[in-house]
Amino acid sequence: MAATGTPPPPISGVLETGLYVDDLPRARAFYEEILGLSPMVADARFCAYNAGPASVLLLFLRGATLEPVHMAEGTIPPHDGHGPLHYALAIPAAALELWIAHLAAQRVVIEGRVDWKGGGVSLYLRDPDGHLVELATPGLWPNY
């Protein structure tokens, strides 16, 4: 792709993160009961969660999005994914110890912990499909 010399328009942020799961009811139980996320929209092939201001976590039943979805508003092209993915959810620093205790009470294993030089802390755990879930406090990145 050739550069035109013109900078691209601005990006406001990452609006959606999508994960592909093998068992949607099992995944929903984890995200709703363990992580406390609330579904905004759901059907047999996907569930959309409010993951904070202007942030949506989408769970798609693996293989259920291989055909275009035609709606009155337009068409969503096909997509899918395989393998364990990584994403991070922002948590307040004051909630870190509460999360550690909550995960222990739910028998969720914390696979790793990083205390970042910038002051943030990341906890790493797995969802039922093997995706790496990171719970991160401020100080992880210069912009967080």
pLDDT for 4 beyond 80: no
| pLDDT value, residue 2 | 56
124 domain residue, yes or no: yes
Whether the predicted pLDDT of 25 surpasses 70: yes
pLDDT value at residue 3: 66
C-alpha torsion sign, points 71, 73, 74, 78: negative
pLDDT at 92 over 80: yes
pLDDT exceeds 90 at position 98: yes
Q: Model pTM? A: 0.91
Q: What mean pLDDT value characterizes the chain?
A: 94
Residue 4 included in any domain: no
Q: Is residue 23 part of a domain?
A: yes
CATH number, domain with residue 25: 3.10.180.10
Identify whether 143 is part of a domain: no
The confidence score (pLDDT) of residue 11 equals 87
Residue 130 covered by a domain: yes
Average pLDDT of the segment spanning 83-88: 95
| Overall domain count for the chain | 1
Per the domain annotation, does 11 fall within a domain?
Answer: no
Per-residue pLDDT, averaged over 120-143, amounts to 96
Q: In what order do the strands lie in the sheet with 46-50?
A: 16-21, 56-61, 46-50, 39-42
In this model, does residue 118 exceed pLDDT 90? yes
Residue 107 domain-assigned? Answer: yes
Which residues constitute the domain of residue 91? 16-68+82-136
Q: Is residue 2 part of a domain?
A: no
